[in-house]
């Protein structure tokens, strides 16, 4: 049997070869697992493959995944974004930066019912970009605020990627959801603060404020926010209160989303079918990737590579901070070439033994990973949010990336804050 270092090199080269050839991520993961089993162990390949894929696919925790995706698809096709803009805009006019804040708060609200970064960027962008452009807001800030705040879909619960991380690492999905609340609020606060400071320093670049509305009119327009706020409270509140599991809450969320869509007049046979089919395709893709990742995790365990790497890292006597800094660079680089879910499932089997050996809380690490993956969503060449905004604005990818760069730095600051003050992540889950 070949040495473990030679095997690691062969598997790494094989991975880059398969991904470089454009092979589906799920097939790449399974192929890598097959190669690892054949080259590095004498365990029965067929038995391990069949039992691992079935065992990890037959998971009740994963039932929440297609339901939350479907909920987001229903709302994506409803008048939700229009209602949010109408309800939020009157309250933003007097803030420094004015209606640029609608991108941030609108994305934060939609993230709490979508769970998808790309869906958040597309939904809010379709409404806000034409409106802000018509009013004369600077394009760079318009794109930047949308690019940065749309990534909140990965963090603010219900987050698809947190479900994936919880399933891959056997963490409580409910606790991960609750752990993402305060970091999500922190990011919103940083984005709002940056836009406010920019607005104070560049007031001449902003259009004139609209006529001040009386308080009664503001409140009347804000009534359109009530249904979506009720949906968020029903889904997240039931989990936090311990009334429902994430899967139960997801089912309630789908029912409420259908009701909201029907009530707004946007639920038709066509939108219902399109939403259901889109959710099915996305869910199947993610489930397939998770099955491949589960098999790769088992195969890597048989070869002993993760344990060897953990021991090697441990022998370097890196502090937890140095390890986290190295992993941040590693995840951002990986995120330049793969989507967030693929990054998480691809690296879990190798990274988690190192994290556990360093004494890092695995639940806290899940939020850490999600924020780093958020950063990778706005880094070229494969930042998904950049492509969405490129299609909405018609600008080239580098122009969009430059507009998003300040928000990349703000996410880096948020990452430093949760490292220095881990209670930002762990405090709410400890109260459950």
Q: What's the rounded Cα separation, in Å, for the pair 174 and 338? A: 26
What b/e sequence results for 3-15 when a residue is b if at least 16 CB atoms lie within 10 Å of its CB, and e otherwise? eeeebbeebeebb
162 confidence band (pLDDT: 50, 70, 90): confident
| Percent over 90 (pLDDT), the chain | 6
**What pLDDT, on a 0 to 100 scale, did the predictor assign at position 4?**
65
Please give the pLDDT value at position 421: 92
Query: pLDDT-based confidence at 416, cuts 50/70/90?
Result: very high
Does pLDDT of 366 surpass 80? yes
pTM, to two decimals: 0.73
| % of the chain with per-residue pLDDT over 70 | 84
Q: Which pLDDT band, with edges at 50, 70 and 90, does 1 fall under?
A: very low
- Across 374-394, average pLDDT: 73
**191-237 per-position pLDDT tens digit:** 989 988 988 888 777 776 666 667 676 677 777 777 777 777 777 77
Structure confidence at residue 420 as a pLDDT band (50, 70, 90): very high
Cβ 286 vs Cβ 160: under 8 Å? yes
- Would you say the C-alpha torsion 188, 185, 421, 338 has a positive or negative sign? negative
Give the residue-averaged pLDDT of 289-318.
71
191 alpha-carbon distance from chain centroid: 17
Dump pLDDT digits (tens) for 81-138: 667 667 777 777 677 877 788 888 877 777 776 666 766 777 777 777 777 787 788 8
For residue 264, count other CB atoms closer than 10 A to its CB: 15
State pLDDT tens for residues 37-63.
888 777 787 777 788 777 767 766 667
**What pLDDT is attached to residue 337?**
58
Number of H helices, E strands in the chain: 22, 0
Domain parsing of the chain, residue ranges: 25-34+44-430
Confidence (pLDDT) at 418: 93
Whether a cis peptide bond, with omega within 30° of 0, leads into 20 is no
DSSP of 333-391 = HHHTTS-HHHHHHHHHHHHHHHHHHTT--HHHHHHHHHHHHHHHTTSSSS-HHHHHHHH
Question: Which CA distances in Å does 17 have to 30, 288, 311?
Answer: 14, 20, 27
The pLDDT value recorded for residue 244 is 75
pLDDT at 113: 67
The C-alpha atoms of residue 423 and residue 420 are separated, in whole angstroms, by 9
In this prediction, residues 150-163 reach a mean pLDDT of 78
Q: Provide the mean pLDDT of the chain.
A: 78
pLDDT of residue 364: 92
């Amino acid at each position: 049997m070949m040495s473990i270092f030679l095997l690691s090199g062969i598997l790494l080269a094989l991975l880059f070869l398969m991904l470089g050839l454009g092979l589906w991520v799920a097939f790449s993961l399974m192929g890598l697992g097959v190669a690892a089993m054949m080259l590095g162990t004498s365990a029965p390949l067929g038995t391990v493959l069949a039992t691992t894929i079935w065992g990890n696919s037959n998971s009740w925790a994963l039932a929440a995944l297609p339901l939350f995706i479907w909920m987001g698809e229903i709302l994506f096709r409803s008048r939700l974004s229009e209602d949010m803009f109408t309800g939020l805009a009157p309250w933003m006019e007097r803030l420094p930066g004015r209606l640029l804040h609608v991108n941030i708060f609108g994305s934060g609200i939609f993230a709490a019912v979508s769970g998808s970064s790309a869906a958040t960027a597309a939904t809010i962008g379709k409404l806000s970009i034409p409106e802000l452009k018509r009013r004369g807001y600077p394009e760079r800030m318009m794109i930047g605020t949308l690019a940065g705040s749309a990534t909140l879909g990965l963090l603010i619960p219900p987050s698809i990627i947190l479900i994936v991380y919880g399933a891959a690492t056997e963490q409580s999905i409910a606790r991960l959801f609750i752990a993402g609340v305060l970091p999500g609020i922190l990011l919103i606060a940083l984005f709002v603060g940056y836009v406010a400071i920019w607005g104070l320093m560049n007031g001449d670049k902003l259009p004139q404020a609209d006529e001040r509305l009386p308080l009664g009119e503001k409140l009347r327009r804000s009534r359109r926010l009530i249904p979506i706020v009720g949906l968020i409270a029903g889904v997240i509140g039931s989990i936090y209160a311990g009334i429902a599991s994430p899967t139960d809450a997801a089912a309630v969320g789908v029912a409420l989303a259908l009701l909201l869509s029907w009530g707004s007049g946007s639920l038709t046979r066509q939108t219902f079918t399109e939403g259901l089919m889109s959710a099915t395709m996305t869910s199947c893709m993610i489930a397939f990737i998770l099955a491949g990742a589960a098999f790769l995790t088992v195969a890597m365990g048989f070869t002993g590579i993760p344990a060897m790497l953990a021991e090697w890292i441990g022998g370097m006597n890196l502090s937890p901070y140095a390890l986290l800094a190295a992993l941040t660079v590693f995840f951002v680089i990986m995120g330049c070439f793969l989507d967030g879910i693929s990054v998480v499932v691809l690296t879990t089997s190798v990274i988690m033994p190192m994290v556990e050996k360093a004494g890092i809380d695995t639940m806290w690490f899940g939020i850490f990973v999600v924020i780093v993956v958020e950063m990778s969503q706005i880094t070229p060449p494969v930042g998904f949010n950049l492509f969405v905004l490129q299609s909405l604005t018609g600008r080239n990818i580098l122009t969009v990336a430059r507009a998003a760069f300040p928000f990349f730095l703000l996410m880096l600051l948020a990452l430093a804050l949760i490292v220095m003050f881990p209670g930002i992540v762990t405090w709410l889950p400890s109260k459950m």
